[in-house]
Chains A and B, each alone.
Chain A
């Protein structure tokens, strides 16, 4: 499939926003907040959640042919995971905005807002991932690993961002955040690697024989009936070389996981103000590459109908 850059941005940015929201709220749910510094840290963090979420939301509009009708997408929540995402995303951002408002006006973040924020983040990961995992003919996506990996990668990116913010505004907690982020990075790298390994052995759903209903083992398409391009030849092929695909794969492994793990765990304290933001940028670029490959790896069953270019 051809990766849509707007969707790569959307899923990466909101995943990071969700992970950050969880990273902010979990200490509160565990009883933190008495010490000075937490309020300031939470304000900054929730501001980042809102900026990332709003940026993701704007990116999602760029994917639509008719963005002015986007409000209609809330209609079919009974059947469509995309519709559910469209409802849960503003809900998540709304709770984050109320939390920030409470912190700005009353200097406190009530549990009654923090707990629903975590729940909304978890629900949003489920909705986003199920958009892909529920398309059962696209076997590369149709696995619970898709849900697990969206969750783990979101927690990792939010964790790395939280560590950077803590380094700036809550230095006493920065080490804890870095350790938690590193754990999420390891888990996400593991989950995504298992998914990549799984895809290697997959065949697209259906077969050439049943696609045209001819039992012969020897079938060769000699014409697709048109010489030029079509939506079906553009949307379902990424059109990049094997070298590009390999670069993307090494890109997400190295930039997205190995580099941030190294920088978070091994760089001594005086260098962290430089090293950790570099880890964050590398990780987010790596996640964009990961999302690119997530789309590009899909060999759509319909491709059997457009093999010959004559």
Chain B
């Protein structure tokens, strides 16, 4: 069973937001329709993004670190957003484990967003449907795209290669090796959602 996922290296993420903008660019232009922006240049802009980068300060001054933390849908292996969907629009694709929303079936009740503890889903008020990271499924499935580029737009865009992409169920894949060798972890594992996306923790700073 394939489970595609992202593995994000927090050692090298510099918080440049290239993954955010490339995600928006690809997904607003793609087959699934635009990601709406309300009042984009005005006082109160409101837009749909599948991926956002947050920044945390960890530790007590002067011993602090700045952690840039990109977060998109984690494509859980036990996704709490899927069973609650009344229409079956929210589903986990069998062949590769990607959690998707069928925007032709979604009625926009927002129940899936309530059920997601990670805040990974964003409602698109223009289209009246729920949206989320698709791991750029329309890139993965498109044979006209060169094989090396057939990855999520964010992975292609990341200038520091902080984002790895692959099958976390294949023990020999680049992502599985990275998780195994570098202590890859998941978010809020105590909730039992078993996220597929992993994060690689900061390495200890070398002694001076």
A interface residues with partner B (beta carbon < 8 Å): 1, 4, 63-67, 69-70, 72-76, 79-83, 86, 131, 134-138, 205-207, 210-214, 216, 218-226, 228-232, 234-236, 300-303, 305-306, 308
Contacts and interface: CB of A to CB of B under 8 A. Distances in A.
Interface string B111-153: 1011111110111110111100000000000000000000000
Contact of B109 (A64, A137, A205, A220): A64
B177 interface: no
B109 A82 contact: yes
A225 B55 contact: yes
26 contacts: A63-B109, A65-B123, A65-B129, A66-B128, A69-B105, A72-B107, A73-B109, A74-B86, A75-B86, A76-B85, A79-B82, A80-B83, A82-B86, A137-B115, A206-B190, A211-B188, A212-B69, A212-B187, A213-B186, A218-B58, A218-B60, A228-B44, A229-B44, A231-B113, A302-B118, A305-B119
Contacts of B119: 232, 236, 300, 302-303, 305-306
A301 B119 CA distance: 8
Interface stretch (B25-33, B45-53, B157-165, B166-174): B45-53
B97 interface: no
A211 B80 CA distance: 16
B199 A221 contact: no
Contacts of B117: 137, 205-206, 300-302
Nearest to A61: B107
B71 interface: yes
Given A65-B108, A86-B86, A206-B117, A220 B57 contact: yes
Contacts of A76: 83, 85-88
Interface in B64-91: 66-67, 69, 71, 80, 82-89
Contact of B53 (A135, A225, A302): A225
A232 B44 contact: no
A235 B144 CA distance: 39
Give the bracket for the number of chain B residues in contact with chain A. Answer: 35 or more
Contacts of A218: 58-60
Contacts of B85: 76, 80
A72 B55 contact: no
Contact of A213 (B86, B111, B116, B185): B185
A220 B56 CA distance: 5
A168 B70 CA distance: 63
B46 A216 contact: no
Interface of B: 17, 20, 44-49, 52-60, 66-67, 69, 71, 80, 82-89, 105-111, 113-119, 121-125, 127-130, 185-191, 199, 201-202
A135 B107 contact: no
B56 A221 contact: yes
A223 B89 CA distance: 33
Nearest to A310: B55
**Central interface residue in B48, B88, B130, by most chain A CB within 10 Å:** B88
A80 B84 contact: yes
B107 A66 contact: yes
Given A65-B108, A65-B123, A301-B191, 20 more contacts: A1-B114, A63-B109, A64-B107, A69-B105, A72-B86, A75-B88, A76-B83, A131-B111, A135-B84, A207-B188, A211-B188, A212-B67, A214-B201, A218-B59, A221-B56, A222-B66, A226-B49, A229-B45, A302-B119, A305-B119
Contact of B128 (A65, A73, A214, A220): A65
A303 B117 CA distance: 9
User: Which 3 A-B pairs give the minimum distances between C-beta atoms?
Assistant: A65-B108, A65-B128, A302-B119
Contacts of A225: 17, 20, 52-55
Q: Which of A81, A216, A220, A306 has the most CB of B within 10 A?
A: A216
Nearest to B53: A225
A12 to B, nearest CB: 18
B144 to A, nearest CB: 31
Contact of A206 (B45, B54, B128, B188): B188
B43 to A, nearest CB: 9
Contacts of B123: 65, 231, 235
Contacts of B191: 137, 205-206, 301
